[in-house]
A and B are shown apart, each in its own frame.
Chain A
Amino acid sequence: MEINRQNYELFAVEYLDGKLTTEQAAAFMAFLAANPDISFELEQLRAVNYTPVDKPVKMDFSFMKRDIDDATITKENFEEMCIAWHEGDLSEVKREQLLAFIGKDTQRQNTFEMYGILKIKPEISVVFKNKKSLKQQATFKLTARRTLLIASLSTAAALATVFILRNPGTGIDNQSGFSEVQRATEQLAVPEQAYTVTESEAKTGKFFNAERKSKTTEPAIINPEEDYKTQLAVIDTNQPEEDEYIRISRIEPGLIPANPTEVKLKPVKQIDLQEELFMAELSKRPVEGLKDYGLSFIAMAENLTVNDIIRTGIEGINRVAETDILYRSRTNSEGKITEFALSTEKFGMKRKTGNN
């Protein structure tokens, strides 16, 4: 590297540290010889003694190299002392000495004050506008998947609860401690939506809906005919804008007519897509391990059983929370649950449903 007026300090410091090669040191000496003003400046600062490189000396390029408190304040190093004051490099004793040195000298006072205001302040108005592009899509996808997965679990749990409550034959005690299930039944204060049923839906009984909305766009139903996994894929490929949200709706159990042409979907979950929520969600729950999100929950009105719902919910919980909860049940000849158990390595719980 050629030594020039922009980089010579680097070589000076290296020289003092004895790190220059013989060639570099010679080049540095040559540079000083060719730049008498710098040599003069150095001399002024520290009485520099340029001796051959094979006989290195304390060139003392700057008093910054040594403890600043060792330096006596002079008119030559006064400005450096002012800088040192404002950089917080001076001890209390040295600060007092500097103030005494300044005294009532107006010029020195001005210089001292001037160094105090020569701080560069960042322009807060200058911002990186496209932060969204920096954020990782994988984060969003995982979060969206997980959030929607949780939404589906909530839906499953809600369905299970309502199903159970409306089918007392199962005999499951409402006070059985399934607080999560009870929480999941909390409904959104959003009106039911009239939903026109397609022919295929009428045949299969699939009435699960996820809508994506924003302040500026009309609600768009996301492939209600597709299964849940497909819906996730659609959402993933259409990244949300700010203020967008996804509202998950399901049919109210027990309201499915035999040959439906229109049903009322009850919104059960509204997922705010604003990043703050995602961050909060992420901070609450780990997302690692949620690679298989193939939880396909569809309200099959005709053949969905309580067991199906619970098993689906437990499987989802295991995937999200990386737990290993086992669910077992016994049913009677009518397919009703008579006994079920939840267990892990640490605890087990068994409950009879009380009927049959």
Chain B
Amino acid sequence: MTVAEYNLCVENHADGIYRFILKNLRDSDRAQDVVQETFAKLWVKYAEVNFGKAKSYLFTTAYHTMIDMIRKDKHTDEIDTLAAVPSTRDEQYSDLKEVLDEAVNMLPEDQRSVLLLRDYEGYNYKEIEEITGLNESQVKVYIYRARKYLMNYIGSMEKVL
């Protein structure tokens, strides 16, 4: 891609990547670091990256940068512990988004990532496979598993007015 196309990528994808990473990490500073690092990596290789595939390249890079960051910072345990909390809610919610957000935060890391790629960016299984390095079956399983988790968390339609 050209330098102009690189900057166009910043305009078009920085927000989406930031949302994706922020939703995973729940830490705006670290999410910004991931975005910065992702685009820095793209800049190093911008001449070799096809502009049409730049978005996929960016999300792939961001995803793996995030995973590396989690591992390096040894936050995995903390996040896993949080994600492992089994929960269904008995509370009454007035906002589906609120409870969905809470449920998504409870998802295991892999499930949350693939679900966000699916829902936020509309990626298909194959694309998510390429981004995450999981195989297509795993991606599918994780998405289905995540949906069921959300459903179980929310409990029933009656809890969401």
Contact = CB atoms under 8 A, between A and B. Distances in A.
Contact of B10 (A10, A17, A113, A134): A134
A135 B120 contact: no
B14 A131 contact: yes
Contacts of B50: none
A118 B160 CA distance: 12
Given A110-B156, A110-B157, A142-B3, A120 B100 contact: yes
A55 interface: no
A127 B150 CA distance: 25
Interface residues of A, number: 50
B84 A6 contact: yes
Contacts of A128: 14-15, 17-18, 32, 35
Contacts of B140: 64
B49 interface: no
Interface stretch (A79-87, A191-199, A248-256): A79-87
B140 to A, nearest CB: 5
Given A113-B157, A128-B18, A6 B83 contact: yes
A282 interface: yes
Interface in A1-29: 5-7, 9-10, 12-13, 16-17
B36 A133 contact: yes
A5 B141 contact: no
A136 interface: yes
Interface in B109-132: 109-110, 115-116, 118-120
Given A80-B144, A126-B19, A131-B14, A13 B100 contact: no
Interface string B26-65: 0000001001100100010000000000000000000000
A8 to B, nearest CB: 10
Contact of A130 (B16, B32, B138): B32
Nearest to B4: A282
A123 B28 CA distance: 14
B66 interface: no
Contact of A83 (B14, B18, B144): B144
B25 interface: no
A305 interface: no
Interface of B: 2-4, 6-8, 10-11, 14-19, 22, 32, 35-36, 39, 43, 80, 83-84, 96-97, 100, 104, 108-110, 115-116, 118-120, 134-135, 137-138, 140-145, 147-148, 150-151, 154, 156-157
Given A110-B156, A128-B14, 11 more contacts: A12-B141, A64-B144, A118-B150, A120-B100, A120-B104, A123-B19, A128-B15, A134-B36, A134-B39, A139-B4, A282-B7
